């Protein structure tokens, strides 16, 4: 059977970890049994506002919320990518954890911060790859897509797929789609982007509508499947021979 991925597009309750955690748990329990990897949006567990409230909502990678998701991943028998604002002794970070039923496999910290993130969060300083059902897989977050050097580095690492968490503003949704397609094409690899949808409407913070538009992109840059702004799952079977044939055609790793 080919591997199956799911982009779990969801709205986020900013600063309400318990509500978001319940949503992620519910979405995981409702996935088809064949799903090997479920990818949730940027900030999925915590949301984000550019003030001190986000440091209060931030969670550690080894805390109760992540432990609960490890249990949910075990029940669903799949790997999970989930975004959250992470806290540790050195500060707060925009993080994406890859975890499964055995625990947290890796945590990627967004390297290229956007807007108000720069005031409240520390940038990450390393790239992260993990072994998944898709092969060697890189993790990226939202604005990282704009930086071609990240894609080039993943190509040097011979990455077979990218899993991307996003919270892209609806007014720029075409850029989100274009960049996901570009990062698939320039590395000849699969790309799955899970986008936040809905609206951030919380006191003393700008109101923001989010794009949704989760999509799966083939190694030739073509769109395999995509969503609109609805809160639902994009479930896609990934045929390994498609990657092999495109890489043979392009000759990128000869």
Note the pLDDT tens digit of each residue in 81-123. Answer: 999 999 999 999 999 999 999 999 999 999 999 999 999 999 9
pLDDT of 1: 87
Arithmetic mean of pLDDT, 154-170: 97
pLDDT of 73:
98
Return the pLDDT at 16. 98
Give CA–CA dist 43/245, Å, rounded.
35
Mean pLDDT score, 42-46? 98
pLDDT over 80 (residue 253): no
Residue 254 in this model has a pLDDT that exceeds 90: no
| Residue 239 dihedral angles phi and psi, to the nearest 5° | -85, 115
Q: Which of 94, 252, 98, 106 is nearest to 187 (CA)?
A: 252
Contact 96, 107 (CB under 8 A): yes
Give me the chain's average pLDDT, please: 97
- Mean pLDDT of the region 220-236: 98
Is 0.75 surpassed by the pTM of this model? Answer: yes
Total of domains in the chain? 1
Instruction: Identify the band that residue 250 occupies on the pLDDT scale cut at 50, 70 and 90.
Output: confident
Whole-number pLDDT of residue 8: 98
% of the chain at pLDDT higher than 70? 100
* Backbone φ and ψ of 252, nearest 5°: -65, -30
SS3 track for 31-57 = CCCCCCEEECCCCCCCCCCCCCHHHHH
CATH number at residue 67: 3.60.110.10
Bridge partners (DSSP) of residue 86 are 59, 93
Classify strands 215-217 and 208-209 as parallel, antiparallel or unpaired: unpaired
Q: How confident is the model at residue 251 (pLDDT cuts 50, 70, 90)?
A: confident
Predicted pLDDT at 22? 98
What is the pLDDT, as a whole number, of residue 252?
80
Q: Which residue has the higher pLDDT, 173 or 250?
A: 173
Q: Which domain holds residue 223?
A: 4-250
Q: What angle do CA 24, 29, 31 make, to 5 degrees?
A: 95
Give the Cβ contact number of residue 42 at 10 Å.
27
CA distance 197 to 143: 16
Residues 42, 94 contacting (CB under 8 angstroms): yes
Interval 114-141 mean pLDDT: 97
Q: What is the dihedral of CA 81, 87, 90, 91, to 10 degrees?
A: 100
């Amino acid at each position: 059977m080919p591997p199956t991925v799911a982009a779990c597009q969801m709205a986020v309750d900013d600063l309400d970890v318990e509500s978001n955690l319940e949503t992620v748990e519910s979405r995981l329990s409702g996935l088809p049994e064949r799903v090997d990897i479920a990818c949730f949006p940027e900030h999925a567990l915590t949301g984000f506002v550019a003030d001190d409230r986000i440091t209060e909502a931030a969670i550690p990678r080894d805390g109760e919320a992540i432990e609960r998701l490890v249990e949910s991943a075990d029940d669903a028998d799949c790997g999970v990518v989930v975004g959250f604002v992470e806290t540790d002794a050195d500060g707060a970070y925009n993080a994406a954890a890859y975890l499964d039923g055995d625990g947290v496999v890796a945590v990627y910290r967004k390297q290229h911060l956007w807007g108000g993130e720069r005031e409240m969060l520390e940038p990450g300083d390393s790239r992260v790859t993990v072994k998944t059902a898709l092969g060697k897989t890189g993790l990226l977050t939202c604005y990282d897509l704009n930086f071609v050097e990240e894609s080039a580095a993943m190509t040097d690492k011979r990455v077979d797929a990218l899993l991307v968490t996003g919270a892209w503003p609806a007014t720029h949704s075409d850029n989100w789609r274009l960049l996901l397609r570009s990062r698939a094409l320039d590395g000849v690899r699969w790309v799955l982007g899970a986008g936040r949808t809905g609206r951030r409407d919380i006191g003393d913070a700008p109101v923001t509508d989010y794009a949704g538009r989760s999509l799966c992109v083939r190694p030739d840059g073509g769109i395999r499947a995509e969503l609109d702004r609805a809160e639902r799952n994009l479930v896609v079977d990934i045929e390994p021979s498609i990657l092999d044939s495109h890489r043979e055609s392009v000759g990128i790793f000869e």
